[in-house]
Amino acid sequence: MKALVTGGGGFLGGVIVRMLRERGDEVKSFSRGAHPSLSQLGVEQIRGDLAKRDQLIKAAEGCDIIFHVAAKAGIWGGYDDFYNANVTGTVNVLAACRANDISRLVYTGSPSVVFDGNDLEGGDESLPYPLHYEAHYPQTKAMAEQIVLDADSSSLATVSLRPHLIWGPGDNHLVPRIIAKARAGKLRRIGTKPCLVDTVYVDNAAQAHLLAADRLEPGGSVAGKSYFITNDEPLPLWEMVNHILAAAGLPPETRSIPPQLAYTAGAICEGLWNLLRLSGEPPMTRFVAKELSTAHWFNINAARSDLGYAPQISIAEGLRHLRQWLATAGS
Ligand SMILES: NC(=O)c1ccc[n+]([C@@H]2O[C@H](COP(=O)([O-])OP(=O)(O)OC[C@H]3O[C@@H](n4cnc5c(N)ncnc54)[C@H](OP(=O)(O)O)[C@@H]3O)[C@@H](O)[C@H]2O)c1
């Protein structure tokens, strides 16, 4: 198989690329920057921007499948930036599939597309998209996912995987953010309710992508569907955060602020950052306040039965790998 992985130099993309190479697939990666680790894996790197359709069409030449992993993630930024990378970029990936007669597209979605600010406990893929989003990231990821699923046809099979809160060695989002806040003395629990949240170790999330690719074919049972991907080990959110802190050699966080206060602070910060055009991320947003004070865990029976997915690395084992990584390269 010859695969194009968009964002193959990123956190999740890097593990997908490694697994594809380990089983002997040919891989090209598409991203704006250069990622030296990819060359060591024998991956052809193509530099380009998702917003440039011609660059994607050229990059996908000769490929059998695209893993569209690249996206603009994050809690803050301009709507146009999110839209261009996540929505226009996805439309362009679909154009690259069609221009090159590629019949399979595995898209990396996000469970945040169904998050409406309330507890989500054990829901499955029948959960609806909410009418309103409190951040550009989930909104544009939801738009992109619908475009991907609507594009499923007799000549192009598409599937969307929704990995929930990916973590592990190489993490450049969740883990470093938690550790930096804790080290700066700025981490606080939001509320005292023990909200269950599930997460996914990065290798499990990557494995799900390969399983989906192998089962994906036009008209097949996986085509046109979305799947939640988790470790299926929901834990109280702050227990998980404290495990990550422990892996970094930091004490558990016990101080808390009321959820309503965090939400109000988020609204004020967003207003100030917009009004004064402040650089960097606000310390709190409404979306983050809700995410950190509600339960969100999902039923992964569909991924288990349709994809044959089963998490191979438990949270306990993943934490051992994380601790090792943080002690060497990651901190
Ligand atoms: N991390 C999570 O917890 C999580 C949870 C759910 C879903 N996801 C989804 O998983 C996917 C991968 O996330 P990640 O955590 O691995 O993120 P990441 O490490 O930031 O990787 C994203 C990659 O995309 C590339 N990229 C971004 N914008 C681009 C653009 N305009 N043109 C070309 N390449 C671009 C980046 O490379 P360059 O900077 O070199 O361009 C980067 O390597 C995303 O689709 C994200 O929405 C992540």
Distance 159 CA to ligand 1 centre (A): 18
Pocket test for ligand 1, best of 110, 165, 172 (most atoms within 8 A of CB): 110
Pocket test for ligand 1, best of 15, 18, 30, 32 (most atoms within 8 A of CB): 32
Length of the chain (residues): 331
Among residues 302, 70, 66, 110, the alpha carbon closest in space to that of 205 is found at 110
CA atoms of 275 and 181, how far apart (whole Å): 25
Atom 34 in ligand 1: residue holding the nearest Cα = 31
Q: Is the CB of 17 under 6 A from ligand 1?
A: no
Helix, coil or strand: residue 23: coil
* pLDDT tens by residue, 269-326: 999 999 998 988 898 999 999 999 999 999 999 999 999 999 999 999 999 999 999 9
Kindly report the CA angle at 305 between 220 and 201, in degrees rounded to 5? 110
Atom 18 in ligand 1: residue holding the nearest Cα = 10
CA atoms of 89 and 83, how far apart (whole Å): 8
Residue-level pLDDT at 120 = 96
H/E stretch holding 117: none
Q: Is the pLDDT of residue 329 over 90?
A: no
Q: What is the DSSP letter of 94?
A: H
* Residue ranges of domains in the chain, CATH in brackets: 2-167+200-230+296-312 (3.40.50.720)
Q: Is the CB of 72 under 6 A from ligand 1?
A: yes
Both tokens of 77, joined, read: 């930024």
H/E stretch holding 150: helix 136-150
Q: Is the pLDDT of residue 331 over 80?
A: no
Neighbours of 140 (CB within 10 A): 25
Confidence class for position 330, pLDDT limits 50, 70, 90: low
* pLDDT tens by residue, 170-218: 999 999 999 999 999 999 999 988 899 999 999 999 999 999 999 999 9
Active site residue 137: yes
Q: Is the pLDDT of residue 22 over 90?
A: yes
Q: What percent of the chain has pLDDT over 90?
A: 94
* pLDDT tens by residue, 134-152: 999 999 999 999 999 999 9
Among residues 170, 216, 247, the alpha carbon closest in space to that of 16 is found at 170
Distance 33 CA to ligand 1 centre (A): 12
Q: What is the pTM of this model?
A: 0.96
Atom of ligand 1 nearest to the CA of 14: 16
